Structure 1
Amino acid sequence: MNNIAASDLNLLLVLEALLEERHVSRAALRLNRSQPAVSHALARLRDIFNDPLLVRGNDGMQPTARALELAEPLAEALALVRSMVEQPSFDIRQTERLFRLSLSDYGAAILLPTLVRRMRQCAPLVDLTVVSYGRERALAALMDGEIDLAVGVYPTLKQPNLRDLDSMLLFEESFACLVDAKSAPLPLDLAAYLSRPHVQVSVALQDSSEIDAALLRLGHKRRIAVQIPHWSAAPDLVRGTDLILTAARRSIEHLSDQDVLCLEVPFTLPIFPFVQTWHRRRDRDAAHHWLRGQIRDLLQRAT
């Protein structure tokens, strides 16, 4: 094995990223380097350790036995180096950063106004880009490093292929129905609910619906007359029509007035967790930790 010179310390950072990401492109994104540069570093590491270190398998790149032996001493060595060189304090006011978040427009409505005000006051050099991905696409984007954080409802987080994602509960939410006051059948029972056409809010055509899953368990199916990707437009589709919107309670209960009514769902729907989720590669990122803390404080305070 060739020795690692002092100038090659950065190679160990590349090795750490490759062992954790098991993907050259994601490691390059994490290290803010080009993919060819990381591929070149991997070639040098293979020469130094006289081992391929990562080989292609059925589920992406897999570490060799030698790479797995290196993982623990590598983590200990880099932890020691970081403790020596990292600054003891973190100042978000001096931090320049771009964060990429995935939010539905429901999530954006309840979070963004307060979050942006907080960021302008406390983190004037931090920028924010918001996208609205469907559930599965958002989680895939987190795995690939395309986005930094996803905030919303993600019932598949415990699947084995998502084990590298971490999450934090922000609040628990329940469903309610919004109907036109003049056409609303009162009380709204299950038969009346099923007899009327429905509005469904879904960013992606394949996103799962807790509502339809619950109805299926009861042996029923509703008719989706209108499917749209935006929460904000849905209530106006109910006004003056026979449509029913079943949505997160806090997104519609404030709309109840003489024209539309917010009613209880006429069958049992479980409450659901509203979370923020991120890849564990961000755990040691001080600015990312700060952002997660702000989102937690703002949304938990609002509940």
Structure 2
Amino acid sequence: MDDLRRIDLNLLLALHALLTEKHVTRAALRLHKSQPAVSHSLAQLREHFNDPLLVRKSGKLELTARGNALLQPLSEALGKLNTLLGTAPFDPLQERRRFRLALSDYAARLVLPDLMRYVRVHAPGFDFAISQASRDAMLAQLADGELDLALGIFPELPQDIQVQTLFEEDFICLADKTAVPDQSGLTLAQWLERPHVMVALRPDANDEIERALAAMGLQRRITVALPHWSAAVELLPDTDLVLTIARRAVGPLRAFRQLRQFPPPLQLPKLAYQQAWHIRKDMDPALTWLRQVMADCCTTGMPSG
């Protein structure tokens, strides 16, 4: 307890904001304080811990080893202290909240119907603003506080972004049956000769398929690049186009009886589809509840309870 007497507990809140945000201005906004006040707090914290805590590298602030070691136990301690001080228990039925989510139309079709059915009963005060962005843009928006939650594939993550895998996904190929009459599909050479549809937010995207081809020293011809998963399938009937796409993006093929489904003629990695959030929101009870509902929607189709 002697160490606690030597530090203003408000400095610990400033320390948590600074270590989480790694940005003095964003920490000031989070704490509802001026930037000079937070800079002064940082100076006091550096003196107390005898460590710079944050150092500038390549124009950005990064945590020192001591700062990094402090972040997790500090988050846990402040969370327990917040509980001890008697905040009202979280009740989704009574909560009013607007969440900002980033979803592709693929994720929206898979998750939103079950999510909305559940939320309208169990958390009717929750509202949602849905946007669509590239992988890099989603990570930047999470870091800047512009998003609460993002769904996608995140093979490389900044240290301050947390993820949870919702499900694993694999690839299938689709084409018109007249263009691919054999049920076994296409050989790799035949597949490479065909014109392809690519689903990506940017036409120059280097996705999992392009990286697999590049590793083999191969390249396919992209005839159509578009950002809409659902529209991509509708381009195939009565053409020679081939679409290689995540299996769940297609849904039942009953509406596309003239399309043939076949396995890709090359080894493609399974995709870990994830939800991502910033570490600053780890202790947010409403977002924690929403993340669990989101995970249940993806694993069971509808949350229990």
TM-score by length of 2: 0.83
* 1:265 match: 264
Q: Whole-Å Cα distance in 2 between the matches of residues 217 and 65 of structure 1?
A: 36
Moved more, 66-75 or 270-279: 66-75
Shift of 1:197: 0.5
Listed one character per residue, the Cα deviations across residues 84-112 of structure 1 (whole Å, up to 9, x for unaligned) are 21336210112122211111110111001
2:274 paired with 1:283:
no
Q: Whole-Å Cα distance in 2 between the matches of residues 261 and 104 of structure 1?
A: 25
Q: Whole-Å Cα distance in 2 between the matches of residues 294 and 73 of structure 1?
A: 27
Q: Whole-Å Cα distance in 2 between the matches of residues 78 and 115 of structure 1?
A: 31
Residue 300 of structure 1 aligns to which amino acid in structure 2?
A: T
TM-score by length of 1: 0.83
Shift of 1:184: 1.9
Listed one character per residue, the Cα deviations across residues 193-227 of structure 1 (whole Å, up to 9, x for unaligned) are 11111110101345431111212222321100111
Q: Whole-Å Cα distance in 2 between the matches of residues 64 and 259 of structure 1?
A: 59
Contact 2:96/2:126 (8 A) holds in 1: yes
Q: 1:274 to 1:47 in 2, by over 3 A?
A: closer
Q: Whole-Å Cα distance in 2 between the matches of residues 19 and 177 of structure 1?
A: 45
> What is the SS of the residue equivalent to 2:276?
strand
2:19 paired with 1:19:
yes
Q: 1:281 to 1:190 in 2, by over 3 A?
A: same
Moved more, 128-137 or 248-257: 248-257
Q: Whole-Å Cα distance in 1 between the matches of residues 16 and 122 of structure 2?
A: 32
> What is the SS of the residue equivalent to 1:233?
helix
* 1:148 match: 148
Question: How many residues are treated as equivalent by the alignment?
Answer: 290
Shift of 1:134: 0.8
* 1:57 match: 56
Q: Whole-Å Cα distance in 1 between the matches of residues 174 and 115 of structure 2?
A: 28
* 1:121 match: 121
2:176 paired with 1:180:
yes
Shift of 1:246: 0.6
Residue 290 of structure 2 aligns to which amino acid in structure 1?
A: L
Q: 1:97 to 1:39 in 2, by over 3 A?
A: same
Residue 171 of structure 1 aligns to which amino acid in structure 2?
A: F
Moved more, 139-148 or 102-111: 139-148
* 1:252 match: 250
> What is the SS of the residue equivalent to 1:220?
coil
Q: Any gaps of 5 or more consecutive residues in structure 2? A: none
Moved more, 48-57 or 93-102: 48-57
Q: Any gaps of 5 or more consecutive residues in structure 1? A: none
Q: Whole-Å Cα distance in 2 between the matches of residues 61 and 297 of structure 1?
A: 37
Shift of 1:122: 1.2
Contact 1:178/1:252 (8 A) holds in 2: no
Contact 1:183/1:241 (8 A) holds in 2: yes
Contact 1:133/1:204 (8 A) holds in 2: no
Give me the identity figure in percent. 42
Contact 1:252/1:262 (8 A) holds in 2: no
Shift of 1:46: 5.4
Shift of 1:262: 1.6
Listed one character per residue, the Cα deviations across residues 210-252 of structure 1 (whole Å, up to 9, x for unaligned) are 1112122223211001110111110111112111111011222
Moved more, 122-131 or 204-213: 204-213
Q: Whole-Å Cα distance in 1 between the matches of residues 77 and 269 of structure 2?
A: 47
